[in-house]
């Protein structure tokens, strides 16, 4: 058995997963146990010396819209940019309130997962 933590819609769950060998017969699954929510994740620690927070791409994709500009004030949950991946647009939201220090991407740019999109201060 492996203990894993998965996050669904922002809620973390601790689960146990059993690995089956290639020749193991599939047995009927036992009655589903209710997964218990894990302790809430700690908020992202500020990055850099100036107390800034880097907002990173959650997935690889193409930037289809940049909503903010440097100097804009944003609230936690505001849309910052939209990434298209697999023909779906996904908003990247501000994790906290603050001022946009830098916008590190532009429309049409292809980014990898973890690329810095916006820096908040």
Same domain? 63 vs 112: yes
User: DSSP secondary-structure letter at 47?
Assistant: B
For residue 65, the tally of other CB atoms under 10 A from its CB is 13
Per-residue pLDDT of the chain (121 residues; tens, 9 = 90+): 778 788 777 777 777 877 776 655 555 555 555 555 655 554 444 444 455 899 999 999 999 999 999 999 999 999 999 999 989 999 999 999 999 999 999 999 999 999 999 999 9
For residue 91, the tally of other CB atoms under 10 A from its CB is 13
Domain span at residue 15 reads 2-37
Residue 104 lies in a domain: yes
Same domain? 6 vs 63: no
Q: Count how many domains the chain has.
A: 2
Same domain? 29 vs 82: no
Burial class (CB in 10 A: 0-12, 13-18, 19+), 64: middle
Same domain? 84 vs 25: no
């Amino acid at each position: 058995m492996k203990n894993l933590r998965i996050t669904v819609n922002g809620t973390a769950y601790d689960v146990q997963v059993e690995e089956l060998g290639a020749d193991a017969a599939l047995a009927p699954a036992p009655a589903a146990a209710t997964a218990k929510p894990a302790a809430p994740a700690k908020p992202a620690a500020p990055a850099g010396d100036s107390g800034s927070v880097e907002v990173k791409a959650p997935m690889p994709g193409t930037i289809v819209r940049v909503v903010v500009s440097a100097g804009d004030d944003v609230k936690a949950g505001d849309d910052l940019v939209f990434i298209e991946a697999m023909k779906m647009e996904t908003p990247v939201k501000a994790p906290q309130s603050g001022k946009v220090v830098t916008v590190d991407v532009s429309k049409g740019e292809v980014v990898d997962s973890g690329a810095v999109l916006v820096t908040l201060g």
